[in-house]
Structure 1
Amino acid sequence: MSQKQQRKQLLVTTGATVTFTKLIELILHPTFLQLISSKLQYTHLVIQYGTSSDSQQLVEKLLSQIPQISNKKISFKPDGATTQTLTFPVTTTTTTKTSQTKSTSQQSTQSRLEIKCILFDTNLVANYTSKSHLVISHAGTGSILDTLRCPGVRLLVVINSKLLDNHQLDIAEAFANMGVLKFHVPFDDDIEKKIDWQGGKKVDDVERESFSDFLKLVEDVDDCEFKKIEPAKGSVIEDVILSECN
C-alpha cells in the first residue's frame, strides 16, 4: 500500500426522518470499520443518519465506543455534523524471488479512515452519492433510484422491515432481479423466523452469522460490476417496479 491512499468514499444513507437503528449499528461496528479501511482501502465514510434526536444520540453513543476515539469527546456542529478520523494497522507481505532463493518480508503501515456524520443534505446526490464508490442505503425507492442513476456507483440496500406495509423487500428484490444492486435483511428484523430457519441456534450465534454475512456481502458488492439501469419508457420507474411486485 502506498504511503498516500487514493481517495475512496463509501456513503451510508438512512433516509431523512426515521431512525434506522440496525443500519447505523452495522456501519459503526469496529469490525466493519476495520474491514473497509484496512482491506477494502476506503479513506472516507459518510453517514447520513437522519434528523431525529434519537439518531444523533445513537451515532454519538456508537462513536464513543470505537476504541480509536473512545477517549475523545464527541461534538456535533449546529447542523448536526461531526467528523472523526481513525487509523488501523495494516501488514503487507512482499515475496522476492531470485533464481535460487525466495524470501518473504512483512511491512507494517497504517490506513486512515475519515468518518463524517451528517443529518441530511438536500444536495446529497451531487455532494456525496455521485462521488462515492459504494453506497449502502435504506430501501427507499427515491434513494435507490438516485444512486442507480450515478454512473459507476455500486449499491447495497439494507431492508428496514420494521416499517410496516412499505414493500421494501419486494422493491429491493425486483431491483436485484434486474442485476443492478444487492440487498441484505438484518438479523433482528424477524428473530423468531430466522432462528427457525437456522435450526434453533442461539440468538447470539445467529446474530454473529448474520453480521458475518453482511461483511461478506459488502466485500462482494465493493468488487461487483452491476448492470446499468434502463431508462423508463413512458412512465416513472417506480410504477414499473411496484407493478412487478404485485
Structure 2
Amino acid sequence: MKEKVREILYKVKRGELSIEDAIDRLKILPYEDVQFAKIDHLRALIRGFPEVVFAERKTPEQVMEIMERLVKVNNRVIATRASKEIFDKVKSKIEDAIYFEKARMVAVLREEIEMKGKVIVSCAGTADLPVAEEAAVTCEIMGSNVERIYDVGVAGIHRLFDRLAEFHKANVIVVVAGMEGALPSLVGGLVARPIIAVPTSVGYGANFNGLSALLTMLNSCVPGIAVVNIDNGFGAGYLANMINLMVEEKK
C-alpha cells in the first residue's frame, strides 16, 4: 500500500497524473464499502500489513470479493480459516492465489518477500499442526524466517532437549499446545527468549475445547510468556513477526 500511494504521488509530482485522477485512485481510503463489508485499505499504512480476511463463516463469494478488492491495492493478501471450497472460489477470480492446506490459508503474493531474523514455531503434538502452521505461514508471509520444531510435547520431553540449542538462536518463540498446555512453561524455563503461547482445542472432555490449556498458560509462573486465544495461530504469528522485525531493526 505504501508503495502504491508513493507511486501515485510521484506521478502527480512529475505531471503524469492529474490531481483529479489521483483523488479517484485514493478515494477508497480509509475504507471501501461493499455493503456486506467495509474493507480497511488504510490498515497497511497504519499497521504495516494489509487487512487480513477471516474466512470462517463467510461465504466463498464474500471472501472472493474482499480479496479481489484488497489485491488491487496490496501486493500481499491473506485469508485465514479458509476451506478448499473458498480457495477454489478465490482461485476462479484471482489466478495467482495459492492455498496452504495445513494452515487453512489462502494467499496472494505479488512481491518478493525479504525474510529477516528467526522465529521458531513449535508444537506439542501432531494434532496441533493446523494451528502451528497458521502461525508459521503468517510469519513467513509477513517477512520472518521460520524454523518449525514439531511434536516435542511434555509426554516425551527428551524430544525437546534434542532441539534445545536451536531455541536459543531465535528472536521469539511460538509454542502451540493442547491437552494440559504445559509446553510453554517448560520452554520458558529453559530459554531466555520471549514466548507466545497458543492453546489449542485438542484434548479429551476435561480439556473443555482448549480452556484447560488456556488457563494453564495464563497461570504460568514463568515470566516472559504472552498468551493468545484458543487456536489463534494467526494472532501468534502476527505478534511473533512484529517482535522479530523489531529485534532485527535494532541490530
Task: Tell me which of the two structures has the higher relative contact order, counting C-alpha pairs closer than 8 angstroms and 6 or more residues apart.
Answer: 1
More helix by share: 2
TM (norm. structure 1) is: 0.30
